[in-house]
Structure 1
């Protein structure tokens, strides 16, 4: 009888211990710590979602060769100044230019907040290498390309008080396109060729990248963890979100 009573008392104490320990798992300090990490959590989640969503493959398969072939449809386009004596610059470009995009990279995302409303701005910095080959003269140029896409992320609330993160404006950052020569060899003047390529890509590459990346950003937002979105939107709406630069 004593043993049974002892067991009952022991189980009662264990139950009390179990009940009392539950609230400790959700103390305000832990919640505050989590909220302070919201911007970093958002950046990390967006980066992961962009990569898993095929961002790098989209960059590597950009149809840059078609853009360079079309150029400006005139001798002033790619290689135009170097091949003026050719019967058809376009025909030569179709035959001699081989272009490959290698080493696409997603660099560290940036995040800033508009202090006046519920908007965030995510900077998506991209980098890739373009190999341009001209077989007849054995020339190989390696170009480094960097470009930023800026995505506006807005917190919205519907009639049922449900909150969401949605993609607003998404565009390339003006002036962020940088093209530099990594390596060049052969008889063709590397700088002249670089100038010609840069002239064409300046006009078309930003919009081309934007068209590929922005839908992926929208998809990445839709796959964010629900609890992360809820916490982030709550802090954004209340004006308590703090982003450390």
Structure 2
């Protein structure tokens, strides 16, 4: 016959808080993952890396010595004045979001970034223009099982073209520097994402390797269906 005392103990156990991986909803688990990635990217120095992108070297590869374009670029790219001529400001990590892959067995982590690039001609102290740059790095994450349990590993890592918005400063006339603007936007749109991509993917890979096992288990069970978890031996 069932003991009354046993019933009291059983009900008491039901009232205890559930472990994190069982009590958390998929939304909570997604928040834990995005929070870990955000903290890892920031503590890993991503924003400092963006602020110190080698823009001088990037732009020199597209330099032309012909006409007005060449003269303006030479002023902007003068190595002795590059620190005041070109400056990256306001680097920021925007809100990370997660999207299931079409097959349902991976997560696509979208990492949006933004920063400003300020150009001025130091010789005449002319604030020329400002470029507001936004770009997105997409990282694939999937679970992998080995003899030590389930881990999250980095799959594909790609970036979309940068979105560049232009603001002219100090009354600069567009028609005078249109060729310069076109060249700057073209070079930066095609090259900056490639510089940022490697840094983002490296830091994300490090964060995944350090995630708590209970969070990994929860992600694999709740966010990524585990039907086709690959086995690594």
Smaller-chain TM-score bracket: 0.7 to 0.9
Paired residues of 1:138 and 1:186 also in contact (CA < 8 A)? no
- How far off its partner does 1:233 sit? 1.1
Pairing partner for 1:178 from 144, 147, 163: 163
- Cα distance in 2 between the residues matched to 1:92 and 1:61: 17
Are 2:96 and 1:112 equivalent residues in the alignment?
no
Q: Which runs of 5+ in 2 are unaligned?
A: 228-233
Aligned length: 215
- How far off its partner does 1:102 sit? 0.7
Residue of structure 2 in register with 1:71 after alignment: 61
Paired residues of 1:105 and 1:127 also in contact (CA < 8 A)? yes
Paired residues of 1:137 and 1:187 also in contact (CA < 8 A)? no
- How far off its partner does 1:19 sit? 8.2
- How far off its partner does 1:212 sit? 1.9
> What aligned pairs does 1:71-220 form with structure 2 within 5 A after superposition?
71-75=61-65, 81-84=67-70, 93-94=77-78, 95=80, 97=82, 98-140=85-127, 141-158=129-146, 160=147, 162-173=149-160, 175=161, 177-185=162-170, 189-220=176-207
Are 2:32 and 1:46 equivalent residues in the alignment?
no
Q: Secondary structure at the match of 1:234?
A: helix
Bigger Cα Rg: 1
Q: What TM-score, normalized by structure 1, do the two folds share?
A: 0.75
Paired residues of 1:101 and 1:131 also in contact (CA < 8 A)? yes
- How far off its partner does 1:20 sit? 5.8
Q: Secondary structure at the match of 2:190?
A: helix
Q: Which runs of 5+ in 1 are unaligned?
A: 1-12, 240-245
Residue of structure 2 in register with 1:3 after alignment: none
- How far off its partner does 1:185 sit? 2.3
- Cα distance in 2 between the residues matched to 1:60 and 1:146: 14
Q: What TM-score, normalized by structure 2, do the two folds share?
A: 0.78
Bigger shift: residues 120-129 or 208-217? 208-217
Q: For residues 122 and 81 of structure 1, do their structure 2 counterparts lie closer, same or farther at Cα, with a shift above 3 Å needed?
A: farther
Paired residues of 2:99 and 2:107 also in contact (CA < 8 A)? yes
Are 2:24 and 1:24 equivalent residues in the alignment?
no
Q: Secondary structure at the match of 1:133?
A: strand
